Amino acid sequence: MSVNRIVVFAISLLFSAAILSAEEIAREPYNDRYCMTCHGVDGRGNEGVQAPRLAGMPAWYLQRQLKNFRAGIRGTHPQDIEGLAMQPMAAKLSDESIADIVAWVGSWETIAAERTIEGDAARGRNFYSACALCHGDNAEGNEAMGAPALAGQNDWYLLTQLKNFMAGYRGSHAEDIYGAQMRSMVNTLRNEAGIINVVAYINTLPR
């Protein structure tokens, strides 16, 4: 991550702390100031701080990730800059607060994110055949497999997270069962070029 992005993260965290005290976070975690500071007023994501689109994210997956952040299963690796920014935001959430956040986010309009990644989609299609086993042929997601929808998500976020899985920044915690599965699968992409190409292919799928 560049120095500029680290500075943006630091400013974002300071801003969040300035507008919400610890007591307010514990009491009103789903206050519009809490999530929208990074994820945007419409929940469409913010590339500047690598905060993904929440609008349209499956409720079961959002709940699992918030609980993982809260428990330190995700967002504690020293090289996971984006995760380190999110983990303290989730640390004080109760189960009730998480349920409220999930319900609130579920009320937002789902709008597919803009495409920003270009690559060789034809090569990416070949790589995606392994991904489809869990995420579905059209990257629509599969709750039974614990695999979220990928189509329509911010492609820059998918790129960053796949890189994190490949590098071991995400999915290396002993209790992150699904993350461990992803770490194994992402190695089939071989390198960064493979990651870019598979994201380019996902961008061609129905959104």
| Residues 79 and 36 reside in one and the same domain | yes
| Residues 97 and 129 reside in one and the same domain | no
Structural domain contains residue 93: yes
Res. 170: pLDDT tops 70:
yes
| Residues 181 and 150 reside in one and the same domain | yes
Q: What is the pLDDT confidence band of residue 87, given thresholds at 50, 70 and 90?
A: very high
Instruction: Name 142's bridge partners.
Output: 147
Mean of the per-residue pLDDT values of the chain: 88
| Residues 29 and 89 reside in one and the same domain | yes
| Residues 82 and 146 reside in one and the same domain | no
Res. 2: pLDDT tops 90:
no
Structural domain contains residue 36: yes
Query: Can you read off the two tokens belonging to residue 177?
Result: 């069962």
CATH number of domain containing 125: 1.10.760.10
Alpha-carbon span 150 to 72, nearest angstrom: 24
| Residues 175 and 88 reside in one and the same domain | no
Q: Report DSSP state, residue 47.
A: G
Residue 62 has phi, psi (to 5 degrees) of: -60, -45
Q: What is the pLDDT confidence band of residue 34, given thresholds at 50, 70 and 90?
A: confident
What confidence tens digit (pLDDT) does each residue in 96-119 have?
A: 999 999 999 999 999 899 999 999
SS3 3: helix
SS3 148: coil
User: What is the number of other CB atoms lying within 10 angstroms of the CB of residue 105?
Assistant: 18
| Residues 130 and 160 reside in one and the same domain | yes
What confidence tens digit (pLDDT) does each residue in 117-158 have?
A: 999 999 999 999 999 999 999 999 999 999 999 999 999 999
Share of the chain above pLDDT 70, in %: 84
Res. 89: pLDDT tops 50:
yes
Residue range of the domain that includes 48: 3-106
Predicted local distance difference test score (pLDDT) of residue 27 = 47
Split into its structural domains, the chain has a count of 2
| Residues 94 and 139 reside in one and the same domain | no
Predicted local distance difference test score (pLDDT) of residue 26 = 43
Predicted local distance difference test score (pLDDT) of residue 107 = 92
Structural domain contains residue 113: no
Res. 15: pLDDT tops 50:
no
Mean pLDDT of 186-194: 96
| Residues 145 and 56 reside in one and the same domain | no
| Final residue belonging to a domain, choices 106, 129, 151 | 106
- pTM, two decimals, is 0.86
Residue 107 has phi, psi (to 5 degrees) of: -85, -10
| Residues 60 and 145 reside in one and the same domain | no
| Residues 132 and 166 reside in one and the same domain | yes
Query: Can you read off the two tokens belonging to residue 48?
Result: 């500047």
